[in-house]
Amino acid sequence: MKKISLKNITEGLKRDEMRMIQGGSGCGNPAGRYCEVNHGIFNCASGLKCVPSPQYVGDKYTGICV
């Protein structure tokens, strides 16, 4: 089991920040897949848009790529 340390957490956060600066994680999700609205990492592939698709009342983060 891997030990969790403050160093591991901060390094992980730095990687996430770099992904956001670079425009997301890799190619993103294809059409019809779930995404997170206004999120820099869990996003859609280029040319697609993350449209809100609430899964429950008050859900403002879940979206779908169109």
56 is a domain residue: yes
CB 53 within 8 A of CB 34: yes
pTM confidence score: 0.53
1 is a domain residue: no
pLDDT at 31: 86
Number of domains observed in the structure of the chain: 1
33 is a domain residue: yes
11 is a domain residue: yes
Domain extent for 46: 6-65
61 is a domain residue: yes
Report DSSP state, residue 29.
B
Segments in the chain below pLDDT 50 = 22, 24-25
CB 64 within 8 A of CB 33: yes
